[in-house]
Each structure stands twice: as structure tokens, then as C-alpha cells.
Amino acid sequence: MQPFNLFSYLPALLLIGGFYYMTYRNSPQHATLLLVVVAVCTGISYITPREKFTLVGLALGIIGTFVVIIQSRNVREKSLQKWFVEKEFHYIKFGPVEALFTRPRIGTINYYPYKGEIVTDQQEIPCIIALRYSYSTSGKTPSIIADISYYFTEPTDLNLIERKFLNARENTPHTNLWKSHLRFFDLKDCEIFRPAQGGIVVSWRVPDSVEGYTDRYEWIINALQK
């Protein structure tokens, strides 16, 4: 029997880790299911005669992995649309939406503005939530980066609201490394600015998940209530 060599399995482990991370961002439940698929197919590959069942396990593993990833993305998209409906934000056409983002444009850009109200204990404040998806390809690997901006125009005292947002950012701790994906989606890392058309914007890079949207929505509410 040949001795176990971890380094020979390293490329496969890195590939599985990448698929797990991708799936986890869409749906933690499907990420767990992905590990089950990998474990089952690995077990199949050890059935004798191994020459035959290794190929069977590999084929089932590839098919199962991509099915789980696609399902996780469908779950994410449905959950995000449900989130906007629950918060009573509705898709609108908004001409100056590009001005609500200051981070550099990368690749192909799509905007999705929604209008609704931020409800606090004291008042209901009209607000536009705008999403920006940047699609780009590095080598042969496609990537999607999402940004979210909260835009307020109607409050009479924008100076007061701006101070509330600045104080909230100052008092917000850094998000832990795992949840923020190594600080790439740090809740503290928000931009607060006034666009040329007036009003005030709070903008983040956001993980494209319900949890990421909810964290920033609650941050806005907590900031306005203080």
C-alpha cells in the first residue's frame, strides 16, 4: 500500500474549497450539501474495482457539484427579491443612478434602483436603494462585484442626517474576517457623500446575500434612530 501523500490531493482540495466558498456566499445550506456530495462521491471512488468506480465517483461529483452551485444561486436570487418585497421597496427607473456610486467602474455595469421608506421609531424617511453589479473576467474566471447605495433626498435637515451617519461609521467595529470575506465586505468601510444632484448617499461593497443586505439595512436604521 502506498503511503498517504497530502500534497497529491492539494489541487483537488483547493478546487473544492473554491466551490465551497462560492456556494456558501449564495446559500450556507447548499454549501453543506456540497460537502455531502463530495464525501459521498469520494466514498464511491473507493469501491472495488477502483478503476471503474473512481470514474463513476468523479463523474457524479462533477455533475452533483454544478447542480448544487446552480441551485444555490437560484435560491439566492429568489431570497433577495423576497427581501425587497418584505421591506416594501419597489423597482423604479432612476436616471442619475450612476452618481450614487464612487468606486471605480470595472467591466460591464448594471444598475437596479428600488424606492421605498426607511421606517424608524420616530419617522418614515423616503429612500432609494440602488444596486450596482460589476461583471468582469480575469483570465478565464468571471467575477461579479456588488455595491449598494442608500440615497436620501427629502429630509429637511441633511446636515443632521450626515452627522448621524458619520458618527455611526466612527462607532462601527470592523466586521470579523470570515463574515467580511477578509475585510472585502467590511461594514465599517462605507462611503458617505453628497452627489451633485443633491441629497446624501451611504454606499458599501456588499456580499450578494440576504445577510449582507440586512446588515446594511439595520445599520442605516440604527444610525438614523440615534
Are residues 182 and 214 in contact, defined by beta-carbon separation less than 8 angstroms? no
Cβ count within 10 A of residue 2:
5
CB atoms < 10 A from the CB of 188, how many? 16
Query: Quick check: 48 pLDDT over 60?
Result: yes
183 with 189: CB under 8 angstroms? yes
pLDDT range class, residue 1, cuts 50, 70, 90: very low
Does residue 192 surpass a pLDDT of 70?
A: yes
Residue 203 or residue 64, greater confidence: 203
Reported as a single tens digit per residue, the pLDDT across 134-150 is 887 665 555 678 899 99
Tell me the domain boundaries of the chain: 6-83, 88-225
Q: What rounded mean pLDDT belongs to the chain? A: 84
Q: Which of 9-13, 33-37, 96-100 has the lowest mean pLDDT?
A: 9-13
Supply the pTM of this predicted model: 0.75
Q: Classify residue 149 by burial, with Cβ atoms within 10 Å: 0-12, 13-18, 19+.
A: buried
pLDDT tens digits for range 21-45: 777 777 778 888 888 888 888 888 8
Task: Taking residues 120-130, report their average pLDDT.
Answer: 89
Q: Which three cell numbers stand for residue 191?
A: 462611503
How does residue 59 score in pLDDT terms, banded at 50, 70 and 90? confident
* pLDDT of 118 strictly over 60: yes
